A = this chain, B = another copy of it.
Amino acid sequence: MKKHNFSAGPSILPRVAIENAAKAILDFDGIGLSLLEISHRSADFEAVNNEAEALFRELLQVPDNYKILFLGGGASTQFFQVPYNLLEKKAGYVNTGVWANKAIKEARLFGETDVVASSEDKNFNYIPKNYTIPTDLDYLHITTNNTIYGTEYKTDIDSPVTLVADMSSDILSRPVDVSKYGLIYGGAQKNIGPAGVTFVIVREDILGKVSRKLPSMVDYRNHIANQSMFNTPPVFAIYVVRETLRWLKSIGGVPAIQKLNEEKAALLYEEIDRNPLFEGTAVKEDRSLMNICFVMTEKYADLAPQFLEFAKSKGMVGIKGHRLVGGFRASTYNALPKESVQALVDCMREFEKMHVK
């Protein structure tokens, strides 16, 4: 049976990227060696690394005064690496849920950390707005998409201080005005590639201003000076990033994927709003296009386990909601085809016919 992969991450990747990765593992570009066995300093791999960076720059329209890095350690490493590099006196954070909270916790180790806005009062079901950003902050940190609560910033905010964003789960899903940010980071394992590589887009002039001494691996400037090869990079993961970005370019880039993502999300949210069995958990204006969270309506709450089983029997994978929200979560990242969303909608309709008299 065909599987429809709604996993929150690691998550679905373009089939062509997967097939090319399998080929490269057996024999990389016909050189008689596996991609897993070549030196990261070889011309063969340098070409991969350079192309991945160039494609990322082209697709997201990253200005020339920003550097793009591919690092190890995951976004969780960025939670402390950002304040290590940038927090001298005071940082501001917008608290939009679990991941923002983790970032806040690490920042507190390095200096004063103000939560300038929060949606904790309503279990993080919205994106805070209409708050004042203090102008004495070293930076303001936001999490543009919140995988657990299904909320997402729809536009790039204006900030009077350096803006830092965790875009792990919505990078390259929509256009971003990179010039509004000082630093953007994220784990690759949603829209860009497999688990094991982290991207950082940074405007160089914000670096080198803290007084503390930085471990070499923590200092972004070392990675910039060595084009992400300060140490042995995650070679295979970067290869899959290149393949994923090649695919994104081939289908029309960010404008095309944005349109597709909007269509997919509309299809599912319309069904959630129409079907008497289900309701969304996030406020409508802040609904994520990447992680669509919904629950059973009160009247049918008991049917939740049955629906999960039913959906599983129809090939749906990874739609169980996070325990902090409950219900269901369909992650509709770039590589998820519209057919999979339609399959889930069909599933919801069929379940409705079985249970709503």
Other-chain residue from B3, B80, B215, B234 in contact with A216 (beta carbon distance below 8 A): B80
In this complex, which of A72, A74, A237 has the most chain B Cβ atoms within 10 angstroms of its Cβ?
A: A72
Binary contact track A98-112/B, C-beta < 8 Å → 1, others 0: 000010011001000
Judged by a CB distance under 8 angstroms, whether A240 is at the interface is yes
Q: Which residues of B contact A59 (CB under 8 A)?
A: none
Judged by a CB distance under 8 angstroms, whether A258 is at the interface is no
Please tell me if the beta carbons of B19 and A36 are within 8 angstroms of each other in the complex.
no
Instruction: Check A79/B217 contact, CB under 8 A, given A18-B26, A194-B236, A234-B237.
Output: yes
Other-chain residue from B37, B74, B232 in contact with A74 (beta carbon distance below 8 A): B232
Q: Closest Cβ of chain B: how far from A155's Cβ, in Å?
A: 28
- Interface window among A9-17, A268-276, A300-308: A9-17
Please tell me if the beta carbons of A80 and B233 are within 8 angstroms of each other in the complex.
no
Q: Which residues of B contact A37 (CB under 8 A)?
A: 5, 7, 10-13, 18
Q: Which residues of B contact A197 (CB under 8 A)?
A: 196
Given the complex of chains A and B, what is the CA–CA distance between A233 and B13 in angstroms? 17
Q: Which residues of B contact A18 (CB under 8 A)?
A: 25-26, 34, 36-37
Please tell me if the beta carbons of B195 and A232 are within 8 angstroms of each other in the complex.
yes
Other-chain residue from B2, B22, B76, B196 in contact with A235 (beta carbon distance below 8 A): B196
Please tell me if the beta carbons of B106 and A2 are within 8 angstroms of each other in the complex.
no
Q: Which residues of B contact A84 (CB under 8 A)?
A: 215
Given the complex of chains A and B, what is the CA–CA distance between A76 and B233 in angstroms? 11
Judged by a CB distance under 8 angstroms, whether A157 is at the interface is no
CB contact list, A218-247 vs B, under 8 A: 218, 230-237, 240
Judged by a CB distance under 8 angstroms, whether A92 is at the interface is no
Q: Which residues of B contact A297 (CB under 8 A)?
A: none
Judged by a CB distance under 8 angstroms, whether A176 is at the interface is no
Judged by a CB distance under 8 angstroms, whether A208 is at the interface is no
CB contact list, A61-96 vs B, under 8 A: 72-77, 79-80, 84
Judged by a CB distance under 8 angstroms, whether A213 is at the interface is yes
Please tell me if the beta carbons of B109 and A213 are within 8 angstroms of each other in the complex.
yes
Q: Closest Cβ of chain B: how far from A44's Cβ, in Å?
A: 11
Q: Which residues of B contact A32 (CB under 8 A)?
A: 1-3
Binary contact track A181-197/B, C-beta < 8 Å → 1, others 0: 00000010100001111
Judged by a CB distance under 8 angstroms, whether A282 is at the interface is no
Please tell me if the beta carbons of B235 and A195 are within 8 angstroms of each other in the complex.
yes
Q: Closest Cβ of chain B: how far from A115's Cβ, in Å?
A: 18
Q: Closest Cβ of chain B: how far from A139's Cβ, in Å?
A: 17
Q: Closest Cβ of chain B: how far from A107's Cβ, in Å?
A: 10
Q: Quick one: closest B residue to A21, CB to CB?
A: B25
Please tell me if the beta carbons of A26 and B19 are within 8 angstroms of each other in the complex.
yes
Judged by a CB distance under 8 angstroms, whether A327 is at the interface is no
Q: Quick one: closest B residue to A107, CB to CB?
A: B215
Given the complex of chains A and B, what is the CA–CA distance between A33 and B75 in angstroms? 24
Q: Closest Cβ of chain B: how far from A40's Cβ, in Å?
A: 6
Binary contact track A240-271/B, C-beta < 8 Å → 1, others 0: 10000000000000000000000000000000
Other-chain residue from B73, B75, B196 in contact with A77 (beta carbon distance below 8 A): B73
Judged by a CB distance under 8 angstroms, whether A123 is at the interface is no
Please tell me if the beta carbons of B25 and A217 are within 8 angstroms of each other in the complex.
no
Other-chain residue from B36, B218, B318 in contact with A240 (beta carbon distance below 8 A): B36
Q: Closest Cβ of chain B: how far from A328's Cβ, in Å?
A: 15
